[in-house]
Amino acid sequence: MQLKRLEAYGFKSFAEKTEIVFHRGITAIVGPNGSGKSNITDAIRWVLGEQNTRNLRAAKAEDIIFSGSSARKALNVAEVSLVFDNSDGTLPIAYQEVVVTRRLFRSGESESYINHARCRIKDVYQLFADTGIGHEGMSIIGQNSMDHILNSRPEERRAFFEETAGITKYKTRKGEALRKMESTEKNLVRVQDIMQEID
Ligand code: ATP
C-alpha cells in the first residue's frame, strides 16, 4: 500500500484546491516557517479519523477550515482526500486504488467517504486497522511527539514500542477477557448461593 496523492481544499492554509503527489521513495517537503508543511500531516491525520482537535493543532473543529486572509475570504468547508495504491491488497477492500475523503462544514456537519461512497468514521478506522497507519498508529510522528518520546519515562516509552509493534490491541482484548472472567466468576458464586438456598 502506498499513499499516492493528497487533495485538499479549504483545510487550514489550503485555500485553493491543492494536489500533492507522493512518488515512491522518500519525499521531503521544504518551505519557510509557517508555510503549511505540518498542515499536510495534519490533513493526513484528519482523514484517517483523528477526532482530537489538539492533535491537529486546533482549538476547536472549525479551526481546521480556512479562516481567510487579507487576499481571500474564509471558506465554509474543508475537504481532504487521500488516494492509496492498494494493488498489494493491504487494505481489506477489493479495489486497486482506494480514495478516502473527509469533509467538515462550518455548521459542524461532517462526512466521510471510502471510494466516494458515504461511510462512518468507524468504517475508516476499520479499513486501516492493523495496517500500521491507522489514526492511533505511529506512522505520523509530529515535532512534539519526538520531544515527548525522547523525554518520556521508561514505562511510557515501552507503551510507544508496544503500540508500534501492534501489541496494544492484544492488551486491550486481554483486559476485556479478564473483566468477562471476573464477572462470570461472580455469577458462578451467585448461582452456588442460590443452589445452596434451594437445597
Ligand atoms: P514550521 O516550519 O514553523 O513548523 P510549517 O511550515 O509546518 O511551519 P504549519 O504549522 O503547517 O507551517 O502552518 C501554519 C500556517 O497555517 C500559519 O500561517 C497559519 O496561519 C496557517 N493556518 C492554520 N490554520 C489555518 C486556518 N484555519 N485558516 C487559514 N490559515 C491557517
The interface predicted TM-score (ipTM) is: 0.97
Contact 112, 102 (CB under 8 A): yes
Tell me the residue range of the domain where 113 lies.
2-135
C-alpha of residue 39 to centroid of ligand 1, in Å: 6
53 close to ligand 1 (CB < 6 Angstrom): no
Q: Which residues define the annotated binding site for ATP?
A: 32-39
Q: What is the pLDDT of residue 184?
A: 97
Same-domain status, 44 and 17: yes
Q: Tell me how many domains the chain contains.
A: 3
Measured between alpha carbons, how far is residue 135 from residues 33, 51, 112, 172 in Å? 26, 9, 14, 17
Pair 112, 159 in one domain:
no
137 has a pLDDT exceeding 70: no
pLDDT at 136: 66
Question: Measuring from atom 18 of ligand 1, which residue has the nearest CA?
Answer: 34
Grid coordinates belonging to 39? 498542515
Question: CB of 70 closer than 6 A to ligand 1?
Answer: no
Q: Can you give the pTM of this predicted structure?
A: 0.81
Q: CA distances (Å), 132 to each of 25, 30, 38, 90, 127, in order? A: 18, 25, 20, 10, 11
- What is the phi/psi pair of residue 167, to 5°? -85, -25
Give the ligand 1 atom nearest the CA of 15. Answer: 29
Contacts of 136 (CB under 8 A, 6+ apart): 163
CATH of the domain at 100: 3.40.50.300
Same domain membership, residue 112 and residue 40? yes
